[in-house]
């Protein structure tokens, strides 16, 4: 359901804005959140982790710098240009507005409506602040919102960060990624903090469904024109051509594997996986 009117609000003053603390911003009920704009003092590195919680589920967890990297990948101006850090819930960079808005964070329900199945009854943003930052911590969050829609949480973007270790040149076979659960039904893309991958393969039930060399992958992303890989990162993106509905479908799968050929060792490199699915498993 498309928003007929978008409004701009400031989230209430947070608790915990102090060096070494965790600032918490509550998201009001009855709103559908399309994006957040985070004003902050200091540098991106001064905020090592930001989390979004819906009910008891942590639906995203990563650093300010990693959010900025994902924005730049989607050709959204970075924090250095905007003057604030943007956190989209919409799938910005989609060709079709319906695809973009389908993952807006739907908190609560329309006024006067009975409680909905799988409804988000509480939501908040938590920001960890480095104890060693030089500047005095200052944080404000401005939200672009519309009215909540019926139907509960709907389709939720889950952004999950893990890490893996490539011990040397050769294939790294990753078999333990989450898949085939209600909140891990679809995988939109992977961000890999390495440039040493020479070939990318994705297998579902031992059938190859994605196979590219580094040259073909880099060229395909440029050819589509909707994404721009960032320095030090590699990207596997089913929606690279701007169609938000393009994802790896893991529903009913018995196995899901990411196979990466490395040119050399890459110890403890982060993988950020973007899923779409229900709120909880």
Cα-Cα-Cα-Cα dihedral sign, residues 197, 231, 42, 143: negative
Mean pLDDT, residues 248-273 taken together: 98
Q: How far apart are the first and last CA of the chain?
A: 24
Q: Quick one: pLDDT at residue 264?
A: 98
Mean pLDDT, residues 252-281 taken together: 98
Locus of tokens 């942590």: 58
Element (DSSP H or E) covering residue 101: helix 97-101
pLDDT digit string, tens, across residues 2-59:
888 999 999 987 999 999 999 999 999 999 999 999 999 999 999 999 999 999 999 9
Q: Quick one: pLDDT at residue 2?
A: 83
Locus of tokens 């730049």: 72
For domain 7-153, give its CATH number from 3.40.605.10, 3.40.30.10, 2.60.120.730, 3.40.50.2000.
2.60.120.730
Q: Are 240 and 125 in contact (CB under 8 A)?
A: no
Q: Are 105 and 11 in contact (CB under 8 A)?
A: no
DSSP string for residues in 26-66 = EPPTTEEEEEEEEEESS-GGG--EEEEEETTEEEEEE-HHH
Q: Are 154 and 72 in contact (CB under 8 A)?
A: no
pLDDT digit string, tens, across residues 144-191:
999 999 999 999 999 999 999 999 999 999 999 999 999 999 999 999
Compute the distance between CA of residue 108 and CA of residue 12 in angstroms, rounded to an integer.
Answer: 17
Coil vs helix vs strand at 158: strand
pLDDT digit string, tens, across residues 63-92:
999 999 999 999 999 999 999 999 999 999
Q: Quick one: pLDDT at residue 93?
A: 85
Mean pLDDT, residues 98-114 taken together: 95
pLDDT digit string, tens, across residues 119-136:
999 999 999 999 999 999
pLDDT confidence of 198, banded at 50, 70, 90? very high
Give start-end residues of each CATH 2.60.120.730 domain in the chain. Answer: 7-153, 157-277
Q: Quick one: pLDDT at residue 209?
A: 98
Q: Are 250 and 180 in contact (CB under 8 A)?
A: yes
Please give the CATH topology (third level) of the domain spanning 157-277: Jelly Rolls (2.60.120)
User: Tokens in use for 3?
Assistant: 């928003």
pLDDT digit string, tens, across residues 202-243:
999 989 999 999 999 999 999 999 999 999 999 999 999 999
């Amino acid at each position: 359901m498309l928003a007929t009117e978008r409004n701009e609000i400031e989230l209430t003053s947070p608790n915990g804005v102090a060096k070494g603390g965790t600032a918490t911003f509550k998201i009001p009920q009855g709103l559908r959140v399309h994006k957040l704009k985070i004003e902050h003092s200091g540098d991106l590195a001064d905020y090592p982790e930001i989390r979004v919680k819906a009910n008891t589920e942590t639906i995203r967890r990563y650093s300010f710098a990693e959010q900025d990297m994902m924005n730049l990948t989607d050709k959204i101006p970075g924090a250095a240009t905007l003057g604030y850090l943007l956190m989209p819930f919409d799938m910005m960079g989609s060709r079709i507005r319906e695809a973009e808005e389908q993952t807006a964070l739907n908190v609560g329900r329309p006024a006067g409506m009975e409680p909905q199945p799988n409804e988000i009854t509480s939501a908040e943003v938590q920001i960890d602040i480095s104890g060693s930052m030089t500047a005095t911590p200052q944080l404000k969050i401005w939200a672009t919102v519309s009215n909540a829609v019926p139907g509960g949480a709907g389709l939720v973007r889950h952004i999950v960060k893990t890490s893996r270790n490539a011990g040397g040149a050769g294939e790294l076979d990753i078999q333990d990624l989450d898949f085939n659960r209600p909140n891990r039904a679809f995988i939109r893309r992977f961000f890999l903090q390495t440039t040493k991958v020479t070939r990318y393969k994705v297998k579902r039930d031992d059938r190859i469904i994605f196979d590219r060399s580094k040259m073909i992958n880099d060229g395909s992303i440029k050819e589509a024109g909707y994404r721009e890989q960032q320095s030090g990162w590699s990207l596997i993106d089913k929606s690279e051509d701007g169609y938000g509905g393009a994802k790896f479908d893991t529903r009913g799968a018995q196995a899901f594997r990411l196979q990466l050929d490395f040119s050399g060792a890459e110890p403890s490199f982060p993988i950020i996986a973007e899923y779409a699915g229900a709120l909880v498993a």
